[in-house]
Copies of this chain bind each other. A is one copy, B any other.
Amino acid sequence: MSTQYSIGLDYGTNSVRALIVDVRNGREVGTAVWEYAHGTHGVILARDPNLARQHPADYLTGAEIVIKQALRQAKVKPAQIVGIGVDTTGSTPLPVDAAGRPLASDKRFAKNPAALAWLWKDHTGVAEAAEITALAKQIRPHYLAKCGGTYSSEWFFSKILHCLRTAPEVFAAAHTWVECADWIPAVLTGTDAPDQLTVGVCAAGHKAMYNSEWGGYPDAEFLGKLHPQLGELRARLRPQAQTIDRPVGRLTAEWAKRTGLPVGIPVAVGAFDAHLGGVGCGIAPGTLAKIIGTSTCDMMVVPVGTKLADIPGLCGIVNGSILPGYYGLEAGQSAVGDIFNWFVNYIKAGSHDELTKGAAKLKPGESGLLALDWNNGNRTILVDQRLTGLLLGQTLYTTPAEIYRALIEATAFGELTIINRLEEYGVPVEQIVNCGGIAEKNPVVMQIYADVTGRPMKVSRSAQTCALGSAIAGAVVAGVHPDYAAAQKAMTGVKAKVFTPNPKAHAVYRDLYALYRQLHDGFGLNSWNGNMHNVMKKLLEIRQAART
């Protein structure tokens, strides 16, 4: 029997990737990436900095291009490909008509950004998120308990309600709304008609308050109180969400022809990029899988049946969302790579390489700077998109490399805040496996993370961990591994190089973290009380100590 391969499709913020993987050992034999054609690096922007959309046509064009290119590179026979997995960003819902066709492709809405896919980082629904949170607090507090206590502007219903309020013609034309993660497997398998659609529990559970304990999505009465038409939409949402060990269907003849893949191979239930990245990292109880990209996602799993408290500020606790049979816990930072990219691309104070080199030469505390990592709001633990960046400690001699390092440190402090919250609520973090472009390429960032957190930082062996996770899903639904544990054992691993914390650096960062928490709580919590008079002085003391 010839070697079997599976294919993972990974839809990121700027581009789509295909990865072809040997199902026996995770060896990556072919890959291709395509940047979406619309917008700025694939993201359609507007004067309102909250707006971030994508054109769904890019998703399909991209699938065809990257699958064909990856197959050519892999030099495997199409017949050797046994299954497909798909991961995407999210919550990235798009409105579709009664036939399942995206409204973005409807000429009537060609110029209407509300008809596009609402990318995860679109925050136009801030007011609606607050409204949903307020209503749920009042009449459905259990809805919030599983998603950190606050419904986010990044999520499904905030976006849909904002569309209903600001572009009612688009809402009216939409039969329903589909997560990108569900829409792509549906198109590939010809199951995109709204009554045939399979939805994954990952998107539904983490972003749309879906929970089988209360009968699926939020009830029509609740949604109807937000807006009667939103209440009516409830009946057009799917009754049951599925885990990623299930196929949504089989590749259609049309898509087999467009891509060169064999007709009829199974396509797994879709999930978010980060969650399948967690699978590709080898997520298991005690292992924090951390995807560091434009934003981060921090995931853990806890076996179903474990007594688990609701964890305030955590994005979600959902049965089966990462691995079947486990609660998936999701935390994250709304911007990490995006903050570094902002500094390089908008402030134009140097390239990532130059700034990283300069930052590497600095000792902890030496710059006297301290930043908050909130340029795109705070997802965990404050769950507040209306927070913004902060930098303090600047003198007349502060350099770009010092600021760049302070921004890296700020994201590390944000990470530590997440780890602390998990452990405070009884979820021990025994090891941390990082993946994503920054973990892969920037050892300075990884060392700072180790020094700030005081914990070793491991890095996933694969440079395309999300796509690898999707390929693992493809292998599982193809039946080549009995379950995810077996598939992960065969197909995942970490690199030999582990970043271990330097105790001296960690001691300095403990002091800096106390100041970070003071700013974090002072600017982030209504309940905090005190003053900030010590912050600048203490930073100067730390700077003085670092310099002598």
Contacts and interface: CB of A to CB of B under 8 A. Distances in A.
Interface of A: 47-49, 335, 338-339, 341-342, 346-350, 368, 374-376, 386-400, 403, 522-533, 535-537, 539-540, 547
A347 B401 CA distance: 9
A386 B533 CA distance: 11
15 contacts: A338-B396, A341-B396, A342-B396, A342-B398, A346-B397, A346-B398, A347-B400, A386-B536, A388-B536, A388-B540, A391-B391, A522-B531, A522-B532, A522-B533, A525-B533
Given A376-B396, A388-B392, A547-B47, A533 B540 contact: no
Contacts of A535: 523
A395 B368 contact: no
A53 to B, nearest CB: 15
Contacts of A338: 396
B386 A540 contact: yes
Nearest to A45: B397
A296 to B, nearest CB: 14
Given A349-B347, A388-B394, A530 B533 contact: no
A403 B338 CA distance: 18
Given A342-B396, A346-B399, A526 B536 contact: no
Nearest to A525: B533
A102 to B, nearest CB: 26
A399 B338 CA distance: 14
A529 B48 CA distance: 35
Given A375-B396, A522-B531, A523-B536, 8 more contacts: A342-B397, A346-B397, A349-B349, A388-B393, A390-B394, A391-B391, A526-B533, A527-B531
Given A349-B347, A398-B346, A532-B532, A390 B390 contact: yes
Closest 10 CB pairs of A and B: A389-B394, A390-B392, A49-B397, A523-B532, A528-B531, A526-B533, A522-B532, A342-B396, A388-B393, A388-B536
A442 B397 CA distance: 23
Contacts of A530: 529, 531
B349 A348 contact: yes
A525 B532 CA distance: 8
Contacts of A390: 390-394
A346 B403 CA distance: 11
Given A530-B529, A530-B531, A393 B389 contact: yes
A400 to B, nearest CB: 6
A330 to B, nearest CB: 21
A66 B260 CA distance: 81
B398 A389 contact: yes
Contacts of A540: 386, 388
A526 B537 contact: no
Nearest to A394: B389
A533 B523 contact: yes
Given A49-B396, A348-B349, A388-B394, A525 B536 contact: no
A368 B388 contact: yes
A525 B522 CA distance: 15
Interface centre among A49, A528, A536 (most CB of B within 10 A): A536
Nearest to A537: B386
Contacts of A391: 389-392, 394
Contacts of A532: 522-523, 528, 532
A531 B523 CA distance: 7
A166 to B, nearest CB: 13
A388 B531 contact: no
Contacts of A341: 396
A403 B395 CA distance: 15
A129 to B, nearest CB: 14
Contacts of A399: 346-347
A378 B78 CA distance: 70
A389 B49 CA distance: 25
Nearest to A389: B394
A403 B390 CA distance: 12
Contacts of A374: 536
B347 A347 contact: yes
A531 B524 CA distance: 9
Contact of A395 (B389, B539, B547): B389
Contacts of A524: 533
Interface centre among A374, A390, A525 (most CB of B within 10 A): A390
A372 to B, nearest CB: 8
A529 B529 CA distance: 7
Contacts of A400: 346-348
A220 B196 CA distance: 94
A387 B346 contact: no
Nearest to A369: B388
